[in-house]
Structure 1
Amino acid sequence: MLGRRTVLLIRSSLLFLLSVLLVMGFYYHDRFYSLGVVPLLLGGGLLTFLVITAARAITGTSVLPRQATVDLDLTQTLGERLRAGTNVLEIAPVTPDVPSVGEVARVRTDRGAEFARLRTADCIRRYVSEVSEDEAQRAGYPSAAAFAKVATGDWGLQAEDVVALIEFEVLEVPG
């Protein structure tokens, strides 16, 4: 595995080489004028598109839009909050499938049907013991103590374990 700095150095070097190629293109740019305006616009547009696509590929930014990769189970309180159309806060144990900011999540019913789509607006981590009353209530728990009871009882966590507070934007909920 390459280290983070090594990957950053490689990507930066590739971006620099791409920039050098782009500057070389400006040197030969005057030859496009002799072909006329339409070839100049089409060739320049295609070249710009390829440069942007290459830069996004080099930096690791997704060229295609992200697909929904995270599935959440629908609870009654979550369904009510989704229908209200407000931003939704969920508290979950930290696992590899916790959605990252900007990622789209699907909310599914117990039968597996998609109920809603949400975009992750924010994701922060807290110790179970540090979840505030307001955060617990926004996540659908009556109090922070009630959340702590669920976290330690149902999820098997300790007060010093970390949970993710994930704020979602509602993208679409069927009528």
Structure 2
Amino acid sequence: MTADCPSLLLVDDDATFREVLTRALTRRGYKVSSAANVAAALLLAEQNPPEYAVVDLKMPGATGLQLVARLKQLDEHTRIVMLTGYASIATAIEAIKLGATHYLAKPAEVDEIIMALQRGGGDTNVELPPRPPSVERMEWEHIQRVLSENDNNISATARALNMHRRTLQRKLAKRPVRQ
């Protein structure tokens, strides 16, 4: 039965989340391989490039963005969903540029992840926000963009933002402000 199932690589450093999502995706007909970090995921992907991948953005060591780029090098047809609790416009744009098919903010339902994996293109009927983002949300987005430009180097980002490093670390430790 699993020979006919599409292969899916699940990469997330949260063991409980990874386990629950692995079971849910397996029940929905995927042959799931999972890894806790980019290095372990690459070992699996290099042996057998997956048809689908669900990749967390922020993990210890290399980021999910680096994994997205490498997965696309291994097989340009791999459909990748970037899944993150640290969603920002900057990382969404980078993920798509690097080859992710879709980008979802955690928490995401299993059905939402599967729909993102299977959907081919954009959605012209997506709802536009009724009002502009809050100042707090814009600050979060700006910090994420500058952090990305500085290759996730906290000290360099703090200097670029003219902000004390500890202040930046406190801001980064918080969850992103909802839109």
| Bin for the TM-score computed over the shorter chain | under 0.3
Q: TM-score, normalised by structure 1?
A: 0.24
Structure with a larger share of its residues in strand: 1
Which fold has the larger relative contact order, with Cα–Cα distance below 8 Å and residues 6 or more apart in sequence?
1
Q: TM-score, normalised by structure 2?
A: 0.23
